[in-house]
Amino acid sequence: MGGISAIQNRVEESANPQTSQTTGQEVFFKDGDQAFLTPVATGEENDLLLDEVYLYTYRSGNRWINLLKDDDVDASDVPDTVRASHKFAFWAYVHDIMHTEKRFDDWEEVEGPQGKKLFVQHINDFRVIPLGFGRSNYIWNQLVDVYNDWGALNKGVIRVKRTGTGMYDTSYTLTATARNTDVPADKLASVSDLTGIKAYYKDRYGQVSQTTPSSEGVSLDTVNTDTLLENDLFN
């Protein structure tokens, strides 16, 4: 079951336990990347466009494997020492992402604060935003704060930013912005066509044969298997 309330209840339960194949659409971040996006998930009860997932990430030969932890997924090849990482993910209309390094020719150079060069990747389409809950759920709690302030996640533009590269110095910030950028009407009309998060992950990561996608910034066109493991470790 999706939605802010349902996931929050499960987060609290896990913190206080009782004794007893699709095309990849995810956005992954490198140090300094910041995305401006409008969630199309609302966060309300039974919202299938926002949900939590557990993923195994492990090395098999010369590649990294991501496999969904699910009762319907065969996890017999997962090493006994591998523990599934807990993530939440939601669908959003991503307007653009700003990078500190230019990795593709079509990224637009702009001047950021203090005159620093930034490179804008225009997305203008729906993407899945996967994030770890963070230590003490600090990343998840930022999304909950936006939900509580707005009453629903789809009321405005959120900025998601990654800072840091290492296991102990990487952090994510999710903040509500005053940016007034609307989702095009034709895109809003197609929100109902989006696959629910659980179904998306089962389709994409429900087989061992699937290799890990890239976290090279948010490029969806290249594959670099080493850097998604980095995201699993640091989120």
Reported confidence tier of residue 3, pLDDT bands at 50, 70, 90: confident
pTM, full prediction: 0.82
Helix (H) or strand (E) segment spanning residue 109: strand 108-111
Partners of 65 in the β-ladder: 58, 211
What pLDDT is attached to residue 224? 41
What pLDDT is attached to residue 8? 77
The contacts found for 58-61 with CB under 8 angstroms, 24 or more apart, are 58/82, 60/208
Q: What are 215-231's pLDDT values in tens digits?
A: 333 433 333 444 444 45
Cα 205 to Cα 126: distance, rounded to the nearest angstrom: 19
Q: What are 141-197's pLDDT values in tens digits?
A: 999 999 999 999 999 999 999 999 987 889 999 999 999 999 999 999 999 999 999
DSSP secondary structure letter of residue 170: -
Higher confidence at residue 9 or residue 110? 110
What pLDDT is attached to residue 221? 37
Reported confidence tier of residue 105, pLDDT bands at 50, 70, 90: very high
What pLDDT is attached to residue 233? 41
Percent above pLDDT 90 for the chain: 71
Radius of gyration of the chain (CA): 17
What pLDDT is attached to residue 110? 96
